[in-house]
Amino acid sequence: MAYTVPKLKDFSTNALTRAFLDLKSAFQEEVAKPRSEAEWKNFRDRWMARKNGLLAQVNDLWLKAAPKEAKREVGKLVNEVKQFVEQEFEIDHGWTNTANAFSATLQTVDISLPGIRRSIDAEHPIIRTQNEIVRVFQDLGYSVAEGPVIETDYYNFEALNFPPNHPARDTQDTLFLANQESKPRREQLLLRTHTSPVQIRTMEKMKPPLRILIPGKVHRNDPPDASHSPMFHQVEGLAVDTNITFGDLKGTLDHAMKALFGSDVKTSFRPSFFPFTEPSAEMFVSCFICGGSGKRGADPCRPCKQTGWIEILGCGMVDPNVFEFVKHNGYDPENISGFAFGMGVDRIAMLKYGLDDLQLFFQGDVRFLEQFG
């Protein structure tokens, strides 16, 4: 029989104590019974419901019904009852009371299994894009090489065939480290302006043939705005072997662009200049946003500036003068040839995700980054 709150006729201390003990034992019996959230809720409502819950009944049947002279003592008792029941509900019976059904469920859980792993971060859209590019070339057999962000003048410029004081150096607004003046120029430190120095570093260590991809941070003295940042990211590629031709360069990059932007993009190579490649080219892909038409409906297509083409990278055949610097390690330009390319990851990520402000990547606003989680 389920417990009901008795009407009291006898308001003596003894009778009150007995009534409280009955209520307590009824409560303790019931608190062990619920086997589901729903049953637990029913149980809680049975005791706690404002209207006609057992506690409310205690108030009505015991306190309100008590004769004047007993009110003080009954009042004290009813408070104790309330305190007892409320405290019991503060204890997490569902999970702590071993006599409880919920703990029976707990025992069937294999606590030796690993817990739920919560991810503590999301992949930054630039890193994600960088990894996608790397992946495409890894599938072609390229491996990844890395090098220092603080570089010497030798690797960043001299060994890449930028002679001292050559005007081509001016195209890369360089951030130099302070207090380097007393060192010979080639040892002076700077923040690398491109990933190309890792071409030299890798060729010094590894003999040909070589197929490497070089992702990394680079710096230039550009004030930040919607399309510039003093720090950005590049992925560089270098392939050296016997008989590498410009055809290999075009075929490789055309394949990579189709893998990255969709199989219907076209590539276009236009003459350019870099001191470390000869001939050099800039490669464009047909605009994957407007499909090459230069228009989006009636509006001009902004990402390609209505031209239908987007500039993606610089490339060319490795200049024999560059090989001269690593000739001692098997790179004799009489016997080998190679191609190189370098692309800006940040710009590609902007195009991919349809962003018009480069700074969003670097502000660390969780509301922005979460969208890539």
Question: Which stretches of the chain bind ligand PHE, using CB under 6 A?
Answer: 194, 196, 236, 274, 277, 314-316, 340-342
Q: Measured from the CB of residue 238, what is the shortest distance to ligand PHE in angstroms?
A: 8
Determine how β-strand 309-318 pairs with β-strand 210-219.
Answer: unpaired
Nearer Cβ to ligand PHE, position 62 or 137?
Answer: 137
Q: Measured from the CB of residue 259, what is the shortest distance to ligand PHE in angstroms?
A: 19
Q: Measured from the CB of residue 164, what is the shortest distance to ligand PHE in angstroms?
A: 18
Nearer Cβ to ligand PHE, position 151 or 236?
Answer: 236
Nearer Cβ to ligand PHE, position 147 or 292?
Answer: 147
Q: Measured from the CB of residue 231, what is the shortest distance to ligand PHE in angstroms?
A: 14
Q: Measured from the CB of residue 204, what is the shortest distance to ligand PHE in angstroms?
A: 17
315/277 Cα distance (integer angstroms): 7
Nearer Cβ to ligand PHE, position 66 or 200?
Answer: 200
Task: Report which of 89, 358, 87, 90 is spatially closest to residue 228, judged by C-alpha positions.
Answer: 358
198/213 Cα distance (integer angstroms): 10
192/172 Cα distance (integer angstroms): 10
Q: Measured from the CB of residue 281, what is the shortest distance to ligand PHE in angstroms?
A: 8
- SS3 of residue 166 by DSSP: coil
* Apex 292 CA angle, 288 and 293, nearest 5: 130
Handedness of CA 156, 161, 163, 167 (dihedral sign): negative
Residues with Cβ within 8 Å of 370's Cβ and at least 6 positions away in sequence, in order, are 122
Nearer Cβ to ligand PHE, position 54 or 315?
Answer: 315
The string of DSSP letters for 46-86 reads HHH-TTT-HHHHIIIIIIITS-GGGHHHHHHHHHHHHHHHH
Q: Measured from the CB of residue 274, what is the shortest distance to ligand PHE in angstroms?
A: 4
Residue whose Cβ sits closest to ligand PHE: 342
Q: Measured from the CB of residue 277, what is the shortest distance to ligand PHE in angstroms?
A: 5
336/357 Cα distance (integer angstroms): 43
Nearer Cβ to ligand PHE, position 275 or 292?
Answer: 275
Nearer Cβ to ligand PHE, position 100 or 234?
Answer: 234
Residues with Cβ within 8 Å of 133's Cβ and at least 6 positions away in sequence, in order, are 213, 215, 235, 256, 260, 343, 345, 348
Nearer Cβ to ligand PHE, position 148 or 291?
Answer: 148
